[in-house]
Structure 1
């Protein structure tokens, strides 16, 4: 367990003697030095791996190096070599990412390659006790449904082609991993909660996209029987269903979060509530001076209410 202490303040308040403070500072200095060495070696490993891939730029090179780095990181973790913990984590994460990138490149972004990446990242997250890999595994699962993000000059983009499936599947995953987290040891509890939180973000993104354009259920049509294409063409989930459903889900999530004292969920519900409000507000009223003024006043009220809640809440599990 790691904690943060203000040593100078504790000495001033008489809760810590100068001798004890010096001892704690010496221990912290040793830990800082070990962290610096681990990070420097980690950058060296990254440079060597990047150079090798640049010299032999093939997917198989990335896959091979990824497996090698993950084995090195896993060996450090399994042997519990405390002074090299950070280096082991770096090697595990970089190895898993290189392997995943190689598989996607080799499979040219096919569904099979994304399913392999999802499974590998999930297993790697469990083996390395990595929250980052856990989040990436959930995002890779969303990519199996066509979800993607992009960036060009001064422009960010988000694409979710199956809003309904995204909402349903990742709601189920969030509920499953949240319930599982209650019965797991600390390391795996953190991983399960990371999966639940990432799933919640994807559920909100699915609602967001659906509230703007609805869902023509393209995947369902593609899987439909050839003898009833006309019936499937008529199945469209309208945007208002997502808009209304999103508002109900956000309200229910906020009420549950307040009752369970889950501050992360409260803040997330508030943030996406603001996004939902502004999206619908400006879609209906347009960006006029009056609509901007009224929208800003309403959002200030929400921000003050959220600030008051965070002030009252005890620092319980988020």
Structure 2
């Protein structure tokens, strides 16, 4: 357990003595030095790994170095030496990313390679109890059905090639992980919930893209129209909001509200275009909805 204390204020308020202040100050300095040392060594590991890869620029080199750094990080974590925990986590993350990148490069983004990297990230996440790697494992799994992001000058984009499959697959995954989390210990319960919540985001991304383009075949023929997916998204958000309200899930309620806003603005401007009048009316509707939600919140029993 970590506790943050303002030692100067505690001393001035007479809550601790001068001797206690000095002792805690020394302990604090030791902790800060250890943190700086872990970060320094971590950067050293990254630099050495990167330099070695630059000298021998091959995917197999990345896989080998990544596997070595990952195993070393997991070994440090299992040694129960708390002072090395930060360095261990840096090694686990760096090794996983380097190994995963090497596998994808070696097999040129093949489906099997993506699934293997997803499994590597998931296994490393469980062994290291890492929320970040858990998120990366779920995102990597979404790449197996064509999900990706991209960037070019001053522009970012999100690609969901299979909206309907994304919605179905990650709805099942989110639901399954949520119920599984109820049966796990606290550490693994946290990881299952993180993965479930990441899946919820992907479900909404699938609905978002689908509500604009629909579900299309390889020949670009419409299988499910954008209108159907737009209505289905609204109903799904309503169902999720009701569930969150009944189960007192603040995260789900907030997430639902955010994506409901995105859905509203997306459909509003898609059908009415971006004009001064449509922007003004959309803003007034949003403000009204916000005030209504705040009224409901205040009316809740304390």
- TM-score of the superposed pair, with normalisation by structure 1: 0.86
- Over the aligned positions, Cα root-mean-square deviation in angstroms equals 2.6
| Cα distance in 2 for residues equivalent to 1:182 and 1:25 | 41
Task: Name the residue aligned to 2:160.
Answer: 160
Structure 1 residues 24 and 264, CA, compared in 2 at 3 Å: closer, same or farther?
farther
* 1:270/1:306 contact within 8 Å kept: no
CA apart distance, 1:254? 1.6
Equivalent of 2:276 in 269, 289, 297: 289
Task: Name the residue aligned to 1:280.
Answer: 267
* 2:214/2:222 contact within 8 Å kept: no
Task: Name the residue aligned to 1:140.
Answer: 140
| Cα distance in 1 for residues equivalent to 2:249 and 2:149 | 28
CA apart distance, 1:112? 1.2
Task: Name the residue aligned to 1:17.
Answer: 16
Task: Name the residue aligned to 2:254.
Answer: 267
CA deviations over 1:103-130 (Å, ceiling 9, x no partner): 0000001111111111111111111111
CA apart distance, 1:306? 5.9
| Cα distance in 1 for residues equivalent to 2:288 and 2:12 | 39
CA apart distance, 1:18? 4.6
Number of aligned residue pairs: 300
Task: Name the residue aligned to 1:242.
Answer: 229
| Cα distance in 2 for residues equivalent to 1:311 and 1:5 | 34
- TM-score of the superposed pair, with normalisation by structure 2: 0.91
1:73 aligned onto 2:73: yes
Q: Secondary structure at the match of 2:156?
A: strand
1:105 aligned onto 2:105: yes
CA apart distance, 1:71? 1.0
CA apart distance, 1:183? 1.7
> Which moved further from structure 2: 156-165 or 263-272?
263-272
Structure 1 residues 255 and 104, CA, compared in 2 at 3 Å: closer, same or farther?
same
Task: Name the residue aligned to 2:198.
Answer: 198
Q: Secondary structure at the match of 1:236?
A: strand
CA apart distance, 1:31? 2.5
Where in structure 1 are there 5+ consecutive unaligned residues?
A: 222-232, 314-318
- Counting only pairs closer than 5 Å after superposition, residues 44-59 of structure 1 correspond to structure 2 as 44-59=44-59
1:179 aligned onto 2:166: no
CA apart distance, 1:8? 6.1
> Which moved further from structure 2: 19-28 or 295-304?
19-28
Where in structure 2 are there 5+ consecutive unaligned residues?
A: none
CA apart distance, 1:159? 0.6
CA apart distance, 1:32? 2.5
Structure 1 residues 294 and 24, CA, compared in 2 at 3 Å: closer, same or farther?
farther
CA apart distance, 1:299? 2.4
Structure 1 residues 87 and 292, CA, compared in 2 at 3 Å: closer, same or farther?
same
- Counting only pairs closer than 5 Å after superposition, residues 210-229 of structure 1 correspond to structure 2 as 210-218=210-218
CA apart distance, 1:267? 1.4
Q: Secondary structure at the match of 2:224?
A: coil
CA apart distance, 1:10? 6.4
* 2:173/2:196 contact within 8 Å kept: yes
